[in-house]
Amino acid sequence: MDMELDPPEPNNELTTTEGTSSLDLVLARNLDRMSQIYNVELQPGAIRVWQRAMAGQSPRLVEWAFEEYFKTGKFPAKPADIYMLIRQHQETPRHDDKQFRPCGKCEFGWIRVYEGMTVGTVLGRRPVDPKVGAVKRCDCFLQWAAQRKAAA
Ligand SMILES: [Zn+2]
C-alpha cells in the first residue's frame, strides 16, 4: 500500500490573519475544508482566485454557500459553483415576496366554514350546508391580493 500519510503542509498564505478581511478568513477556512473533504491539494494562488471571484460578497453568504455546496457537491467547488448558490439565494427572497404565502391557519388561502351564507353567483345567497361546508378566502390571501393589486 502506498498511501500518502503526510499531512498537508501548512500554507502560510491560508493561515495568516494579518490584514485579512473576514471574507478572506471565510475563504481560507472553507478552501482548507474543501481540500480535506475532497482530498485535493489546493493550487498555490487558489486563495487569490477565490478572493477575486468573491470580492464584495457578504462573508456570511459565502460561508453559507460553501456549507450548501459541501452537502451535495461531489467534486471540489469552483468559484462559479459558489457564486451560483449565492445568486440563487439572493434572488429567491425577492422572488418569494410576490408569491402567495399562506398564514398557516388556512389551507393555502382557503378556510373551510360550516355556517354562514354563501355568496354564490349561480345559486345566490344561501345558508352553508353544515354537512358539506364551504370555503372562503382567508385574510392572508385577501391581504396578499390587495397588495398585489396595489403594486401592479
Ligand atoms: Zn390564511
Residues 6+ apart with CB under 8 A from 148: 98
The CA-atom distances, in angstroms, between 80 and each of 29, 43, 50, 147 are: 18, 17, 10, 36
Residues 136 and 110: beta-carbon distance below 8 Å: yes
Distance from the alpha carbon of residue 120 to the mean position of ligand 1, in angstroms: 21
Distance from the alpha carbon of residue 109 to the mean position of ligand 1, in angstroms: 5
Distance from the alpha carbon of residue 146 to the mean position of ligand 1, in angstroms: 14
Distance from the alpha carbon of residue 145 to the mean position of ligand 1, in angstroms: 12
Instruction: Kindly tell me the number of DSSP H helices and DSSP E strands found in the chain.
Output: 6, 2
Q: In a 3-state reduction of DSSP, which class is residue 111?
A: strand
Mean pLDDT of the chain: 82
The secondary structure of residue 112, as a DSSP letter, is E
Confidence of residue 5 (pLDDT cuts 50, 70, 90): low
pLDDT for 16 beyond 50 = no
Tens of pLDDT, residues 117-141: 877 666 677 888 888 888 888 999 9
Distance from the alpha carbon of residue 107 to the mean position of ligand 1, in angstroms: 7
Tens of pLDDT, residues 58-98: 999 999 999 999 999 999 999 999 999 999 888 765 555 67
Distance from the alpha carbon of residue 112 to the mean position of ligand 1, in angstroms: 11
Distance from the alpha carbon of residue 122 to the mean position of ligand 1, in angstroms: 26
Distance from the alpha carbon of residue 62 to the mean position of ligand 1, in angstroms: 35
